[in-house]
Amino acid sequence: MDFDWTPDEQAFRERLRDFLDTTLPDDWERFSQHGPASPDLTRYAQTFCAALAEEDLLIPHWPVEIGGQGQDPWHQTILAEEMWIAGEPRGGQYMNVNWIGPTLIRYGTPEQQARYLPPIAQGKALWCQGFSEPGSGSDLASLRTRAVADGGDYVVNGQKIWTSYAGLADTCFLLCRTSEDRKRGITILLVPMDTPGITVRQIPSIIGEGDIHEVFFDDMRVPASARLGEEGQAWEIIAYSLRNERLGIPRYALARSALDRAVSILQERGDFVREAVRIEAAGAAALCEAARLASYAIVTRRAEGETIGQESSSARYATVMCERRVCEFIVEHLPEALADAHPYLKMHHQRGIVAGIAAGAAEIQLNIIASDVLGLPREAR
């Protein structure tokens, strides 16, 4: 066991902090509260990611052969933590570099790679993820958006929902049904968002302007060359994508940072004296630490070359617990943060409240832990 960073890792973190300090605009905190998918932030992310790419900080964890530096999972974790603590100035591009790029590297045709990888590596691409549908949230495999082969094309009809970034994205990583087989009947299409037959409608939300959308497909036609992998291979491919993304976003890092900020605000005005408040804050910090270490235990295994499966659900649920506690602490002791007094804390709240829902709901994580970590007999269905 070793709970220290190596000098190299520490230097990498400091380099990132310096970069963020000098690169982010002065009013960053104020405008980051609009949410990582807001139009303002999405546009700014193009500038920011291009600057990251200039410094070789956009895809350092990609293999050297395709422009990365082959950095280990610890560097990837540090990068993700520092970006998320800052309010994720990469906007939706975090998806590109974390899993869309690596998935294309593994499963894309040479043409798909030539078309899509360079813009990702330069920080110019914006993708959206067309998975969820009105009738298919947690039960993703029930999705019904249909792609029918027609000559050399696919014709797509159906609807996606809760799609982040769809308003401004240039490409959609779209899951469609091509046969009735529940999991092996799903196929991935890489769809330019300006294809005729796509309609995007923004859904107003409490978590920020432009964050989620509905996307409708009416007789949308794409060539068969838009298919990623084989017909029916989507489930296998997503499992690979998730392997790169199992731990999800390092939310514990922003939660802890928000907690520290809240405490320092309370201290400045003399309100961090009562034992009751101090005890609450310490409890929230403990849950952040529990989530951080649970995540690091998984990263350790990844760094040693292990393939991580369902056991990362435990770290993800720990992260939900800490997000919740930090949000509650701020709501209780600094309610003005949810108005306009402390943009950083509001930014955290906007991102924190979805921790238990987006990218695999909390109860689904508990189901996975029960079956695959505790080894309990499966639920009756």
Residues that bind ligand FAD (CB under 6 A): 128-132, 137-138, 162-164, 207, 211-212, 354, 357-359, 361-364, 367
Tell me the β-bridge partners of 127: 171
Shortest Å distance, C-beta 328 to another protein: 15
Residue with tokens 């995007």: 200
Q: Smaller CB distance to another protein: residue 104 or 368?
A: 368
Residue 132 interacts, among ligand FAD, another protein, none and using kind-specific CB cut-offs from 5 to 8 Å, with: ligand FAD
Residue with tokens 């970034």: 165
Shortest Å distance, C-beta 362 to ligand FAD: 6
Residue 289 interacts, among ligand FAD, another protein, none and using kind-specific CB cut-offs from 5 to 8 Å, with: another protein
d(CA 7, CA 24): 25
Shortest Å distance, C-beta 175 to ligand FAD: 8
Q: Is 38 exposed, middle or buried (0-12, 13-18, 19+ CB in 10 A)?
A: buried
DSSP secondary structure letters along 48-72: HHHHHHHTT-SSTTS-GGGT-----
Residue 291 interacts, among another protein, ligand FAD, none and using kind-specific CB cut-offs from 5 to 8 Å, with: another protein
Shortest Å distance, C-beta 278 to another protein: 4
What DSSP element (H or E) covers 203? Answer: strand 198-203
Tell me the β-bridge partners of 173: 129, 190
Residue 361 interacts, among another protein, ligand FAD, none and using kind-specific CB cut-offs from 5 to 8 Å, with: ligand FAD
Could you tell me which residues come within 8 angstroms of residue 318 by beta carbon, excluding any fewer than 6 positions away?
A: 252, 287, 290, 291, 294, 295
Q: What are phi and psi of 254, to 5 degrees?
A: -70, -40
Shortest Å distance, C-beta 103 to another protein: 27
Residue 357 interacts, among ligand FAD, another protein, none and using kind-specific CB cut-offs from 5 to 8 Å, with: ligand FAD
Could you tell me which residues come within 8 angstroms of residue 298 by beta carbon, excluding any fewer than 6 positions away?
A: 246, 247, 308, 311, 312, 315
d(CA 361, CA 218): 29
Q: Smaller CB distance to another protein: residue 20 or 294?
A: 294
Measured CA angle at 316 (ends 311, 319), to 5 deg: 145
3-state secondary structure 112-136: HHHHHHHHHHCCCCCEEEECCECCE
Residue 138 interacts, among ligand FAD, another protein, none and using kind-specific CB cut-offs from 5 to 8 Å, with: ligand FAD
Tokens of 362: 């909390």
Tell me the β-bridge partners of 201: 214
d(CA 283, CA 266): 16
Binding residues vs another protein (CB under 8 A): 1-6, 9, 74, 260, 263-264, 267, 272, 275, 278-283, 285-287, 289-291, 293-294, 296-297, 299-301, 304, 314, 317-318, 321, 363, 365-367, 369-370, 373-380
Shortest Å distance, C-beta 277 to ligand FAD: 30
Q: Smaller CB distance to another protein: residue 9 or 236?
A: 9
Smallest CA-to-CA distance from 234 within 194, 186, 182, 191 is with 186
Tell me the β-bridge partners of 153: 150, 223
Shortest Å distance, C-beta 82 to ligand FAD: 22
Shortest Å distance, C-beta 59 to ligand FAD: 21
Q: Smaller CB distance to another protein: residue 230 or 306?
A: 306
Q: Smaller CB distance to another protein: residue 237 or 299?
A: 299
Residue 281 interacts, among another protein, ligand FAD, none and using kind-specific CB cut-offs from 5 to 8 Å, with: another protein
Residue 163 interacts, among ligand FAD, another protein, none and using kind-specific CB cut-offs from 5 to 8 Å, with: ligand FAD
